[in-house]
Amino acid sequence: MKPGKTVAVVGDGAVGLLGVLSARQMDAERIITMSRHESRQKLAREFGATDIVIERGDEGVGRIKELTDGIGADSVLECVGTQESMMQAIHSTRRGGYVGYVGVPHGVELNGEQLFYAHVHLHGGPAPVRRFLPALIDLVWNRKINPGKVFDLTLPLEQVAEGYRAMDERRAIKTLLRP
C-alpha cells in the first residue's frame, strides 16, 4: 500500500480493525471499513476509517465501487477468511490492485478463470512479525497508536469459554483474560 491510496477492509474483528489502524499508519488517504456493528464502526473511525459500508456480498462490492467512482479500492484487506469475504475483497479491488488476505482461509475455493479475469494481485500468509515489531512497539510506547482498544472485555482466566462465546456472538471484539 502506498500513501494517498484507497484501502478497503473486509471484516470488523480485531484483525480488521488493526488493519484499519495499519492503513492509517501507512498514510492511506481513504479507508473504507465494512462493518455492521456500531461499536466496531466507532473504533474503526477512531483508528482512521473514513467510510463505513454496512452492505455485504454484491451489494457491499457495489457500495465500494460507488464510493470509488466505479473503480474499486487500490488495496483490500480480507480479514475474515470465508468464501464470501474473499470474493467480496477480490471484486472490490480495482483492476491491477492488491488483495491481502490476513484472515486464515477456511473453506475458500478460488475459480482460476474468475481470478484470471479479476486482474488483481493476491497475497496472503502469516505476517513477518519480527520485521515490524520494533517500530510498532515504539509507536505504542510513545502513545502514537493504541491497538489494545480491541480488547473490550476483560474476564478471569476461568471464564475463557465465556470470552470465546462473547467474541463468537459479537458481544466482544477481543477478550483479555486475567489471572
Question: Hunting for cell 463468537 — which residue is that?
Answer: 168
Which residue is listed with cell 500513501?
A: 3
How wide is the angle at C-alpha 124 spanned by C-alphas 107 and 136, nearest 5°? 125
Assess whether 96 and 159 both reside in one domain. no
- At residue 1, the pLDDT reads 65
DSSP 8-state symbol, 107:
S
- Give mean pLDDT, residues 30-44: 96
pLDDT at 55 over 90: yes
How does DSSP assign 144-171, residue by residue? S--GGGGEEEEEEGGGHHHHHHHHHTTS
> Residue 116 belongs to a domain with what CATH number?
3.40.50.720
In a domain, 1, yes or no: no
In a domain, 149, yes or no: yes
**Residue 164 domain flag:** yes
> How far is it, in rounded angstroms, from Cα 113 to Cα 12?
29
Q: Note the pLDDT of residue 114.
A: 87
Q: How far apart are CA 75 and CA 99, in angstroms?
A: 6
Q: What does DSSP say about strands 51-53 and 121-124: parallel, antiparallel, or unpaired? A: unpaired
Residue with cell 455492521: 36
Asked whether residue 100 falls in the same domain as residue 21, the answer is yes
**Cell reading at 40:** 466496531
Counting the structural domains of the chain, the total is 2
Q: What is the pLDDT, as a whole number, of residue 159?
A: 98
Do 62 and 83 lie in one domain? The reply is: yes
Based on the fold, state whether residues 38 and 116 are members of the same structural domain. Answer: yes
pLDDT-derived band at 3, boundaries 50, 70, 90 = confident
Percent of the chain with pLDDT over 90: 90
* Residue-number span of the structural domain to which 117 is assigned: 6-129
Cell of 157: 482466566
In sequence order, what are the residues at sequence separation of 6 or more whose Cβ sits closer than 8 angstroms to the Cβ of residue 50? 30, 31, 32
In this predicted structure, the answer to whether residue 33 has a pLDDT above a threshold of 70 is: yes
pLDDT score recorded for residue 127: 84
**Secondary structure element (H or E) that encloses residue 94, with its range:** strand 93-101
Is 76 domain-assigned?
yes
Do residues 29 and 72 both lie within one domain?
yes
Same-domain status, 79 and 113 = yes
Number of Cβ atoms within 10 Å of the Cβ of 138: 11
> Are residues 142 and 64 both part of a single domain?
no
Phi then psi for 101, rounded to 5 degrees? -100, 115
Range of weakest confidence among 34-48, 50-64, 124-138: 124-138
